Structure 1
Amino acid sequence: MDDQEMQLKVRRVSDKFTESMYVLANEPSVALYRLQEHVRRSLPELVQHKTDMQSWEEQSQGAIYSVEYACSAVKSMTNSSLYFKSIDGLLRQAISMKEQISASQGRRRRTTDTQKEGAEKHNARM
């Protein structure tokens, strides 16, 4: 019995060893198959996310450019308050001069009208 028992134990050990070697030999293949399967399923979705992100990035860059441009325009407007004050002063001077010109033209018309009336009276007497 010792011989048979020993053969049985040897056979069990060799079977377990063979089974372990089989699993170890096939495990990388199964892992690679599962990995490939996962990539095939998830890759289209990942590609879609990438294109969406690129589109959002382009839109964001455009918005950032617009905001920066608007900020620089506002800053330049605040720096130009001196020019606006100067323009305001010049416009006030122009309005004042226009009023003076209008007033002097009004006096001339009155003088001209008075002279015309005097000439008409003078001509009527004659």
Structure 2
Amino acid sequence: MITSPSIIESRSNASTIRSDPDTESKVRSSIRAINETIQSNANEPSLAFYRIQEHVRRTLPTMVQKRMELENLHERMNGLIFDVEYSVDAVKSLGTSDEHFNNIATYLEKSVYISKQMNLLKQQLIQQQFLEKQGEP
């Protein structure tokens, strides 16, 4: 057994400290705070995962709906892009069909000229018939 005066003093001081109610309440309060801190730190990862799970449960249906809308819009956009590209190709091909349009314009001019000639001939025929009817008494 060690009988050093400092150890005896510390034991006697410890017994006096323990008997002091103010110090005892402070020690218990400190121990309680340390226990709560340790418990909180031990549960922190579980709490974090729980919060993440809550967040996923709340936001996942909305995110899935938005993704489906985005996919539908993507399909529509692809269709519209195809239509625009097809239209651009059609307009570009119009540039190479000048000869066809010139032929159409020429034939239209000829038909208008022939139509006028036919109308003129009809009018002359009608006038001629009218004059013949007037000369027949």
* Bin for the TM-score computed over the shorter chain: 0.5 to 0.7
Give the superposed CA RMSD: 2.6
* Equivalent in the alignment of 1:56: 73
User: What TM-score, normalized by structure 1, do the two folds share?
Assistant: 0.61
Give 1 or 2: higher helix fraction.
1
Distance in 2 of aligned mates of 1:77 and 1:24: 75
The CA deviation at 1:16 is 1.0
Taking the aligned partners of 1:66 and 1:21, their CA distance within structure 2 comes to 66
Look up the SS of the partner of 1:8 in the other structure: helix
In the TM superposition, residue 70 of structure 1 has moved relative to its aligned partner by 0.6
Structure 2 Cα separation of the partners of residues 2 and 12 of structure 1: 19
User: Percent of aligned pairs with the same residue?
Assistant: 37
In structure 2, the residue matched to 1:43 is 60
- Structure 2 residue ranges without an equivalent (≥5): 1-14, 115-137
Which runs of structure 2 are paired with 1:20-99 in the superposition (5 Å)? 20-85=37-102, 87-88=103-104, 91=107
Q: CA deviation at 1:2?
A: 5.4
